[in-house]
Chain A
C-alpha cells in the first residue's frame, strides 16, 4: 500500500502531506525534513529513487519526481511496483495540470482543499483506486459542484437550509 504522499518545494516548504496511517504532527515534520534533506542533495537526471528504509523503517520504498519548483514524493511498501507508482505520480501531476490549467506551485498553495480532493479520489486508504486522469477529473468536478451547491444556500436561514438539504 501507499504509506504517504508529500509535495514540497525546492526550499523544503511542505505543500501537501498525506499519511495513510496516523502519525503525530511532530513525527510527520521530522519525516518530511528527512526526505527533503536527501532530495535536495540529489543531482538532476539521476534515478527517482531514494533509500527510504533509513527514514521510514523497514519495507518502505520511495519514489519522487521533480517538476519545476516542486518535488512529488510517494512512499509505499513492497506491495506496490516502483515504476507503476512513478506512473501514478505522472497521473497525479497531469490531473493537477488539467484541473488548474498549467499548474504551478501557487495553484497548489492556494487550492489546499482541491488538491486533497484530487488525491483522495486517486488513492483511498493507501490503495490506488483510480488511475485515469479523466475519471479523476469527473469525480473532482462533481464534488466541487456539490460543495458549491451546499455553500450557496449558506445565506438562507438555518431552518430553511435544513429543509432544503433533506
Chain B
C-alpha cells in the first residue's frame, strides 16, 4: 500500500518538470500533454495528499493554459481541500475556482469546507475561502454562509474586511434575503475612514447601483460626503459612477452634485478621474450648460494630447455629447477630421462616427463626397466602414436628409465602383428602394444603372453583383426613361453575364424581356406615328392606364440630348427602326439560346419565356419589315395585340408594400386556410411520379411542350393584367386618383452641380480642409439658395409596424434583490416593493437634510404612479413612430401579384396624398377625396 504511493511521490513529476518538458517539446506538445494527463489521472487517485495536490496543480496548469477540461477532478479537489496544509488548500481552491460552476455535482459537499476555512484564524486561509465563494457561490452556498460573511464584514483585519465586502456582491446576487442581514453593516462601512475599505464598499455599491439605481437613492448623502471628502482617485471614480446613475433619477440630486464634480474637473491632476468627471457630466448632467462647457473644454485637451488613449477617449466623450450638444462637435471639427487619417483604427472609426453626426440636409453631399475620397485611399476595412456609415446615415428615416436624389443615386453608383467596396447588398437595396419610392429620380437611376451595366469590367467583381442586379432591375422596370434601349439590351445580354450567379442572371433576363417589349411597343404600336407629346400632356393623366407613356414623353424631352427637336423623336439618340428590332430579336436568340439548357431552373424558365415571346413576334416583325411601314396595322394586328398586352403587363408600377398589407386583404369566400390537408396526400399519392420529374432538365416533355406552354402562360397573364388594368383605370377615374403625383420636376431645370465635381477631388489634405470648411458652413442653419428644386416626394407607407416589443422586465432576481434593499433601507418590510419604490425619490430630499426616515406618503405615491404611466405611454408612442417598416415588392412580376400590389398601393397612395402639399395637378375630385376619411376598398 505504501510502496506504490511512495514510488509515486518520489518519481512524480512536478509542475516545473511539466513546464520544462512542454518547452522542450521533444515529442510534440499535444503528445506530451496527453502523456502528462495520463500520469495525472493515475496520480490524482493516490492516497497521499502531496502526490494528489501536485497532480491537481499540474492539471490546473494544463486546464488554465492549455485548455483541458478538469471537471473530472472535481471530487479530488475536494479531497485535497480537506488537507490541513495551507499549500494543499491553496492548490485545491485554485482548481475549484477554475472548474466549479452551478451544476457541478459535488458543489453541495463544499459548504462545510468553506465554513471551516471562513472561521479559520489564519487570515490567508479565510481569504482563500472568500475568494472561492466569490467565484462559485450559488443560492445554497450564499444562504448557508451568510452568517460567516456577516461576521467578517466587521473583522478588524483590513485584509479580510475588504474581501468580505467584495464577496457580498455575489452573495446578494445569489441570495437576496442576505441583504436583510448584511446590508446595514455594509452601509456602516461607508463611513469607515480607511481608504481601502471605502474603496471596496464604494466599488460594491457602484456595481449594485448599475443594476437598480433607484434603490440606492436614499444613500445619496453618504455618497455625497465621500465625493466631497475623498482624496483617493479610485474611490472618487467609483462614486462618480454611482452618481452618474443616480443623478438622472432625481433633479435635486443632480443640482447638488454638479458643483463638486466641476471642482474635481478643474482641480484634479489624474487623467482617469478627469475622464470620469467628463463622462459623468456629459452622460448624466448634460442639462447644466456651464458644466458641459467645462467638460468639453477638457475634452479638447484630450483631443490634442499626444497620447492616443486620451484622444480616443476624448472622441468617445464627444460622441456622447453630440446627442444633445452638437456644438461641442463642431467646435472640435478640425481635430476630428484630422483624426480620420490617424494611424489608429479605433480613432479613425470614432472620428468617422462624429463626422457622420455632423451630417445634415445641407452638407450631406459635400461630406459624402469628401468621405468617398477618403474611402478611395484607405484600407479595405475602413473603406467599408466609411461606405457603410454613409449608406446608413443617408438612408436614415427614409432618406430624410436627402434633398437631391439625383445626386444620391449617382453617388451610390460611384460608391459601388470603389475597389474595396463590399457594401453591394446595401447599395442594391437602396437603389431599388429609391426607385420604388421616389418617382422623380427614375431617369437618373436609369442613367446610373446603364453606366454600371455597360461596363463589362464590373461583371468580374463578385462584390458588385448585387449592385448590378439592382441596376438591371431598374433599367428594365423604368426602361421608358432610357435614352437608348438598344444599347441597354446589348448590355443586358453581353457574353460576360455568364459570370453572374444565376439568381442575378434571371434578373438580367427578365429585364431584357421588359426592354424588348418596350422596344417593340415603341416601334410597332406607337411606332411610326409618334404622337406629339403636347397632346398627351393635355390629357388628364391617370384616367387612362398609360401613365407611363406620358411621363415617358416628358422625361425624354427633358433629358434627351436633342431637346431642340420639337416634340420630335422620343428616342433622339437612337431611333428604333424595324431593322434594329430585327437585330435585337436575333441578338436575343443568339444570347439566350444556350440558356435553354441551363441547369438553373429559374434561368432556364425565363430564357424560355423570352425566347417564346421572340418566336411569337419574329415572323410578323420580319413580315412587316419587308412590307411598307404603314401596312403594319393590317398585317401585324395579332403581333401588336400581343405586344400591347405585354407592354401593359409591364407598365404598371411596382410600389413598396407594407409588411402588414397582407393582413388587410379580406379572406375571399370559400378559401379555406385552416383546413387540414392531411387527406390530400393520400389522394395525391398516385399523381406523384409526373411531378417529381417536372424539374428534370431537358426532358422530352419539357422540350416538346415548353414553348407552347410558355406562350399560353404569357397570354393568360396578359389577359389577367388587362382585366386588372381596366379595373384599376376605372377606379382611378372614379376617385380621380393616380398613384403618386407626378410633376414639379419638369418645371425646374437641372441646376445642381454635377455629382463628380472636379474641384472637390483634391488631395487628401485638401479634403480635410474642405471638410472643415463644409461643416463650418453647414452648421450655420441656412438654406442653400441653389436648392431650386423642392425635395421630391418619397413614398412612405402609412401602416406602422404594430408589433409591440414586450417591455423588458428586470430579472426576478434583481427584483427581489432591490426589493430587499429597499426593505432594509426603509425598514418597512410589509410594504410591497412597488410602493416602496415609488416613495424613494420623495423621501430622498428629506433624508438628505438629515431627517429621520418617513413612512409612506400616499399623495406622493400616486403622483409617482402617474408619472410612471406617462412614461410608459410615451415610450410606446416613440416606438410606433420609429418603425416605419418597408418592404420591397418582389421583382418577379406576374400579373396576379401586380394586381394585388396595385390595389394596395392605391389605397396607400390615397392616404398619402391626403398629406401631401406639393401636389401640382390636383384636380377637383382628388381634393375631395383627400379630405374624406379613407375607406378601405380592396375589392373595388
Binding site for B on A (CB under 8 A): 1, 14-17, 20, 22, 24-26, 28-29, 42-43, 45-51, 78-79, 81-84, 86-87, 109-110, 112-113, 116-117, 120, 124-131, 139, 142-143, 146-151, 153-154, 161-162, 165-166
Contact = CB atoms under 8 A, between A and B. Distances in A.
Contact of A79 (B57, B196, B199, B241): B241
Interface of B is mostly: helix
Nearest to B209: A79
A147 to B, nearest CB: 4
A127 B166 contact: yes
A14 to B, nearest CB: 5
B101 A26 contact: no
Contacts of B313: 82-83
Interface string B397-416: 00000000000000000000
A84 to B, nearest CB: 4
B163 interface: yes
Contacts of B66: 14
B726 interface: no
Contact of B203 (A42, A113, A128, A148): A128
B580 interface: no
Contact of B61 (A112, A124, A127, A149): A112
Given A49-B309, A150-B88, A14 B166 contact: no
Interface string B771-797: 000000000000000000000000000
A113 B64 CA distance: 11
Given A50-B346, A81-B237, A17 B64 contact: yes
B68 interface: yes
Closest 9 A/B residue pairs (Cβ): A125-B134, A83-B272, A46-B344, A47-B308, A22-B101, A150-B85, A127-B166, A150-B86, A29-B67
Contacts of B136: 22
A125 B69 CA distance: 22
A47 B86 contact: no
A79 B200 CA distance: 13
Contact of A17 (B19, B65, B101, B241): B65
A93 B57 CA distance: 24
Nearest to B275: A83
Contact of A81 (B94, B166, B272, B308): B272
Contacts of B163: 124, 129
Given A22-B100, A83-B309, A110 B16 contact: yes
A147 B87 contact: yes
Given A25-B69, A84-B237, A150-B87, A125 B204 contact: no
Interface string B577-601: 0000000000000000000000000
A37 to B, nearest CB: 13
27 contacts: A15-B65, A17-B64, A22-B136, A25-B63, A25-B67, A43-B344, A49-B309, A49-B312, A81-B272, A81-B273, A81-B276, A82-B309, A84-B233, A109-B23, A112-B64, A113-B91, A113-B94, A125-B169, A129-B162, A129-B166, A129-B196, A142-B124, A146-B87, A149-B86, A150-B85, A150-B87, A151-B85
- Which one of B134, B272, B276, B347 has the greatest number of beta carbons of chain A within 10 Å? B272
Given A79-B207, A84-B234, A116-B94, A47 B311 contact: yes
A49 B310 CA distance: 11
Nearest to B136: A22
Contacts of A49: 309, 312, 346
A131 B234 contact: yes
A161 B85 CA distance: 9
Given A14-B65, A79-B206, A150-B88, A125 B166 contact: yes
Interface string B170-193: 100000000000000000000000
A143 B124 contact: yes
A86 B312 CA distance: 14
Contacts of B57: 113
Interface residues of B, number: 67
B418 interface: no
B217 to A, nearest CB: 18
Contact of A1 (B102, B122, B207): B207
A99 B331 CA distance: 48
B131 A147 contact: no
The CB with the most chain B CB atoms within 10 A, among A26, A42, A112, is that of A112
Given A17-B65, A45-B308, A51-B346, A146 B84 contact: no
A127 B205 CA distance: 11
Contact of A146 (B122, B272, B273): B122
Nearest to B58: A112
Contacts of B67: 25-26, 28-29
Interface in B205-244: 206-207, 210, 233-234, 237-238, 241
Nearest to B203: A127
A3 to B, nearest CB: 12
A125 B124 contact: no
A40 B136 CA distance: 33
B135 interface: yes
B752 interface: no
B340 interface: no
Contacts of B200: 127, 129
Nearest to B206: A79
Interface in B454-476: none
Given A83-B272, A161-B84, A127 B15 contact: no
A25 B68 contact: yes
Given A129-B200, A165-B84, 16 more contacts: A16-B64, A17-B65, A25-B68, A29-B67, A43-B344, A46-B346, A47-B308, A81-B237, A81-B273, A82-B272, A84-B272, A124-B131, A124-B134, A127-B169, A150-B86, A162-B84
